[in-house]
Amino acid sequence: MSNSSASVLILFAHPALEKSRVNRALMEAVRDLDGVTFHDLYQQYPDFHIDVDREQSLLRQHRSVVFQHPLYWYSCPALVKEWVDLVLEYGFAYGEGGDVLDGKHWLSAISTAGTLRAYCEKGSNQYTIREFLRPFEQSALLCNMRWLPPYVVHNSQQISDPELDRAAENYRRLIERLRDRPDVSVPAGQHSYINKWLEQEPAGGN
Amino acid sequence: MAHGFFYLAFIYLVAAVISVPVAKRLGLGSVLGYLFAGVIIGPFMLGLVGQEVGDVMHFAEFGVVMMLFLIGLELKPSRLWRLRGPILGLGGLQVLLTTFALTGIALYFGLEWKMALAIGMSLALSSTAIVLQSLNEKGLLKTSAGQSSFSVLLFQDIAVIPMLALLPLLAAPGATPAIATDNVLAGLPGWQQTLVVLLIVGAIILGGRFLTRPVFRFIAATRLREIFTAAALLIVIGITLLMQSIGLSPALGTFVAGVVLAESEYRHELEADIEPFKGLLLGVFFISVGASIDFQLLIDNPGLIAALVGGLVAVKLMILLILGRLFSMSLSDNLLFSLALAQGGEFAFVLLAFAAGASVLPTSLTNPLVVAVALSMLVTPLLLLFHERLLSPMMRKHRERREPDAIDEDNPVIIVGYGRFGQIVGRLLKAQGFSITLLDHDSSQIELVRKFGNKVFYGDAARLDLLISAGAAEARLLVLAIDDRNKVLEIAALAREHFPNLTILARAFDRSHVYKLMTVGVEHIYRETFRSALEMGTDALQHLGYRAHQAHRLAAAFRRHDEATLRELYPHWGDEKKYVFHSHQRAEDLVRLLQSEERRTHPKDHAWAIDQLREDSRD
């Protein structure tokens, strides 16, 4: 599964994939791409015993890191937090000598049942997805990584099949773009979601 | 020849120390060793011990009393209660039928009915000492055959009491029994006797339940080990005296006391204290049985004695086999049960001496009978050996010849071996609604799990046709959970060869078994005790003060390392030098790994390297 020439590492986390529709579709869209390592955390570490050495060597081998997971309680599933706690060590990811992640992309690919309208000041969730993802954004910053606006699929419980197909297709294009253009930069301030940028950038364009 | 105590002790001990290890080495078991030692030092061969053998035997019988106390300690009241059926049914029928049969035979040879009955009763009993010691040594006491044997022996212990009461009634009028009973109840009317007996048994139970704990606590507080030992001996000897005074079997009394104490926290201490005494006394008992065999009588009447021994063993064996059948034991259980109990016992010595003393039987009759009983006791370990070496392996073969069940199911999972291991796997999968084809080649196991509503097919899965009919061609998983290492390998190889798409999960015994399975091409291998040992280690760390999560992470790191090492060392398997060299290296790696793991375990202290951060923030 780990591919030395791969450039995108997808850290996928879903504790109940058997019930998932959106994440399954997204997963299937990117899992077999060349140059992409799809790393299913809940499948690898059902007991939460993360092999830190192995995870760190995976990080070394890739230029972009994608965290793909559903939004649980406005954050990530527990195993992703455990992963961050243990793998992003002092001296590896940050602090003295902690330069391994310098310049690598950090992309969060999120699915959520809430609609875009729910995630705003007037909405039921009061804050935007971007605001909820601040801890991740700051973590990327601490590790000297390049934070990208998140890829978000809203309304995951009711999304129609054609819409889901389009979301999966866009996700595949995004991952391919990251793979083929490792120095792509999307100013985080410019777009709240990377979905927008994807729509503006024509396929294959530079 | 009168000998001093130390001289006798020396002879007995030398005989035991030499003959028992030799007998063990030859695979004969300790009981035969002791018996032969007795024969060798006895009057017939070396003549190192003489007439005092009878007294010694009488004293050493106390070992049997201790043995029953120990057995009682291991038998919780609830388990004893479950045995009530076998004890009363199986034991009762054995004593009754054997007594009738032997009495009938004696009558046939023209004895008077009183004599015949006395002989029948004496010989109906088996040897608790020989049977339990032999079965225990072979680890068979806890098997169903062992439990059945034990039940019968327990009933015989009870049956001795009415027999002793009955014998004087059979005496010719005018004769006085030579053995005076020191039964203090003899003068009381029957109902009062019964009442006193019940009261005393009740006192033992209540005393054991409520009195022993504070007393033992008090004694244990002295921290003098020998006083505790003295107390343990005191219990056994006290109960023996009490029982003798009211004419009950001491063995039975101490057994009851043992059962009462089985749930006491001092149980293991008591066991450890009594065990050496019991072992030595039983050894002395067996030696004295061997030494007491009157070989002169055997040489003078070889035909008669041989007929007596053969007849006795044959009749008892036959009745036991019929009973085993009646109580629906499996054939192999029944054979073990019957062979174990087919001898005369130490009670026969007592009863025959009593009968001779009471002039029920003339010594011209009892002497050859005593020799026959002693020889039948010598025969029992040999019969058990015969069972272990020839019959039991043959039974296994025989069972293999049983036609495998027809299997009419197509399930995605096949589990071979539905014992302690396979059941866990099976129950988990079944709880998820998977239908499973279960195979086992142990019929008693099959009967057992069928009682719980599982459909288990009989058959040897190392046969290709059986695997095919079990649906191995369509199944997705083959779970090999039997405890026979070679069988696991055999089945795995067969399945790999014929059903390449079948995923095999195999239970492995140890590392070398893992490697053998890897060689056969099995990918999923589970060392049967690895995970539970690791769990125990994790708990041990916690008891040493580690936090649960830290202990778990260390254990997980250990597991990952151990499993990786196992695979890494595979190429060196068979080359001991290299294997040892690399394992040493890997052991060093492990220490480093666990140290770094420990550093990471605690996010607050280590993963976040608080000290470093503090220094950095000072810059």
Give contacts of A47 with chain B, Cβ < 8 Å.
556
> Is the CA virtual torsion A49, A54, A57, A61 positive or negative?
negative
CA distances for B269 relative to B208, B215, B261, B272, B277, angstroms: 15, 14, 11, 5, 14
B379 found inside a domain: yes
| Whether residue B477 has pLDDT greater than 80 | yes
Restricting to A residues 80-139, those with a Cβ less than 8 Å away from any Cβ of B are: 85-86, 89-91, 95-96
| Whether residue A183 has pLDDT greater than 80 | no
Most confidently modeled range among B116-125, B193-202, B212-221, B246-255: B116-125
Which of B452, B415, B449 lies closest to B435, judged by CA?
Answer: B415
Chain B contact present for A46, CB below 8 A: no
Q: Do A96 and B616 touch (CB under 8 A)?
A: yes
Question: DSSP E strands: which ranges in B92-185?
Answer: none
B619 found inside a domain: no
Give the position of tokens 């048994």: B201
The 3-class SS string of B286-317 reads HHHHHHHCCHHHHHHCHHHHHHHHHHHHHHHH
Asked which of B360, B393, B426 is the last residue of a domain, the reply is B393
- Please tell me the distance from the alpha carbon of residue A2 to that of residue B413, in angstroms, as a whole number: 31
| Whether residue B186 has pLDDT greater than 80 | no
Please give the mean pLDDT across all residues of chain B.
83
B20 found inside a domain: no
Give contacts of B608 with chain A, Cβ < 8 Å.
90
Phi and psi at residue A8, to the nearest 5° = -115, 125
Please report the pLDDT score of residue B468 as a whole number: 82
CB A119 within 8 A of CB A128: yes
Under the banding of pLDDT at 50, 70 and 90, the label for residue A5 is very low
> Does B449 share its domain with B510?
yes
Q: Do B612 and A90 touch (CB under 8 A)?
A: yes
Under the banding of pLDDT at 50, 70 and 90, the label for residue B410 is low
Beta carbon pairs, A and B, within 8 Å: 29
Most confidently modeled range among A141-155, B3-17, B62-76: A141-155
B interface with A, Cβ–Cβ < 8 A, is 552-553, 556-557, 560, 600, 603, 607-609, 612-613, 616
Under the banding of pLDDT at 50, 70 and 90, the label for residue B514 is very high
A192-201, B168-177, B203-212: lowest mean pLDDT where? B168-177
Asked which of B361, B393, B425 is the last residue of a domain, the reply is B393
Q: How wide is the angle at C-alpha A186 spanned by C-alphas A182 and A191, nearest 5°?
A: 150
Domain CATH code at residue B477: 3.40.50.720
> Does B387 share its domain with B524?
no
| Whether residue B239 has pLDDT greater than 80 | yes
Residues 6+ apart with CB under 8 A from B358: B167, B168, B170, B171, B175, B176, B177, B178, B179
Interface test with A, best of B608, B615, B619 (most A CBs within 10 A): B608
Q: Is B174 left (phi over 0), alpha (psi -120 to 50) or beta?
A: left
Q: Pick B256 or A105 by higher pLDDT.
A: A105
Q: Is B525 helix (H, G, I), strand (E, B) or coil?
A: strand
Give contacts of B607 with chain A, Cβ < 8 Å.
85-86, 89-90
> Does B386 share its domain with B423?
no
Residue B555's closest chain A neighbor by CA? A49
| Whether residue B613 has pLDDT greater than 60 | no
B3 found inside a domain: no
Residue A43 CA to its chain's centroid (Å): 17
Interface test with B, best of A86, A90, A94, A142 (most B CBs within 10 A): A90
> Does B386 share its domain with B418?
no
Give the position of tokens 């030595």: B280
Give contacts of B600 with chain A, Cβ < 8 Å.
52, 86, 89
Q: How many domains does chain B have?
A: 2
Give contacts of A56 with chain B, Cβ < 8 Å.
none
Under the banding of pLDDT at 50, 70 and 90, the label for residue B309 is very high
CB atoms within 10 A of CB B378: 22
| DSSP designation for A17 | G
Q: Do A85 and B557 touch (CB under 8 A)?
A: no
Helix B267-292 to helix B30-41 angle (10° resolution) is: 40
Please report the pLDDT score of residue A169 as a whole number: 94
Alpha carbon of A163: minimum distance to chain B alpha carbons (Å): 34
Phi and psi at residue B403, to the nearest 5° = -65, 130
Q: Quick one: average pLDDT of A48-63?
A: 93
CB atoms within 10 A of CB B552: 19
Q: Do B613 and A47 touch (CB under 8 A)?
A: no
Alpha carbon of A87: minimum distance to chain B alpha carbons (Å): 9
Nearest by CB to residue B553, choosing from A49, A89, A91, is A49
A105-114, B228-237, B516-525: lowest mean pLDDT where? B228-237
Under the banding of pLDDT at 50, 70 and 90, the label for residue A139 is very high
Q: Do A96 and B612 touch (CB under 8 A)?
A: yes
Q: Is B503 helix (H, G, I), strand (E, B) or coil?
A: strand
Q: Quick one: average pLDDT of A9-24?
A: 94
> Does B124 share its domain with B174?
yes
> Does B154 share its domain with B55?
yes
Give the position of tokens 């339990």: B132
> Does B439 share its domain with B495?
yes
> Does B363 share its domain with B468?
no
| Whether residue B178 has pLDDT greater than 70 | no
Domain CATH code at residue B163: 1.20.1530.20
Q: How wide is the angle at C-alpha A129 spanned by C-alphas A126 and A132, nearest 5°?
A: 80
A8-17, B80-89, B99-108, B183-192: lowest mean pLDDT where? B183-192
| DSSP designation for B261 | H
Q: Do B612 and A85 touch (CB under 8 A)?
A: no
B11 found inside a domain: no
Nearest by CB to residue B603, choosing from A85, A95, A96, is A85
CB B514 within 8 A of CB B527: yes
> Is the pTM value of this prediction over 0.90?
no
B400 found inside a domain: no
Under the banding of pLDDT at 50, 70 and 90, the label for residue A1 is very low
Q: Pick B139 or B309 by higher pLDDT.
A: B309
Alpha carbon of A168: minimum distance to chain B alpha carbons (Å): 32
Residue B598's closest chain A neighbor by CA? A86
Under the banding of pLDDT at 50, 70 and 90, the label for residue B489 is very high
Domains along the sequence of chain A with CATH: 8-200 (3.40.50.360)
> Does B375 share its domain with B475?
no
pLDDT in tens, B548-582: 888 988 898 899 889 988 888 888 887 888 888 78
Alpha carbon of A85: minimum distance to chain B alpha carbons (Å): 7
CB A77 within 8 A of CB A70: yes
Which of B39, B63, B60, B34 lies closest to B49, judged by CA?
Answer: B39
Give the position of tokens 């061969």: B45
Give contacts of B612 with chain A, Cβ < 8 Å.
90-91, 95-96
> Does B230 share its domain with B321?
yes
> Does B106 share its domain with B173?
yes
Q: Do B607 and A86 touch (CB under 8 A)?
A: yes
Interface test with A, best of B534, B550, B598, B600 (most A CBs within 10 A): B600
B272 found inside a domain: yes
Q: How wide is the angle at C-alpha A59 spanned by C-alphas A57 and A65, nearest 5°?
A: 160
Q: Do A86 and B603 touch (CB under 8 A)?
A: yes
Largest interatomic CA distance in chain A: 49
The set of long-range contacts for B559-564, using a CB threshold of 8 Å and a minimum separation of 24, is B559/B530, B559/B534, B560/A49, B560/A51, B561/B586, B561/B589, B561/B590, B561/B593, B562/B530, B562/B590
- Please tell me the distance from the alpha carbon of residue B139 to that of residue B142, in angstroms, as a whole number: 7
Alpha helices in B207-345 (DSSP H): 212-221, 225-245, 250-261, 267-292, 295-300, 302-326, 331-341
pLDDT in tens, B15-49: 889 988 888 888 777 888 888 888 888 888 888 87
Q: For the sheet with B503-508, list strands across it.
A: B456-458, B436-440, B413-416, B477-480, B503-508, B524-527
- Please tell me the distance from the alpha carbon of residue A117 to that of residue A126, in angstroms, as a whole number: 10
Nearest by CB to residue A49, choosing from B556, B603, B608, is B556
Asked which of B393, B424, B440 is the last residue of a domain, the reply is B393
Give contacts of A96 with chain B, Cβ < 8 Å.
612, 616
Please report the pLDDT score of residue A118 as a whole number: 93
Alpha carbon of B541: minimum distance to chain A alpha carbons (Å): 17
Q: Pick B491 or B367 by higher pLDDT.
A: B491
Domain with B229, as residue range(s), is: 51-281+299-393
Give contacts of B556 with chain A, Cβ < 8 Å.
47, 49
> Does B213 share its domain with B255?
yes
B174 found inside a domain: yes
Q: Pick B431 or B58 by higher pLDDT.
A: B431
Which of B262, B257, B345 lies closest to B66, judged by CA?
Answer: B257
Chain B contact present for A183, CB below 8 A: no
Nearest by CB to residue A89, choosing from B552, B557, B607, is B607
Nearest by CB to residue B612, choosing from A47, A86, A95, is A95
Q: Is B253 helix (H, G, I), strand (E, B) or coil?
A: helix
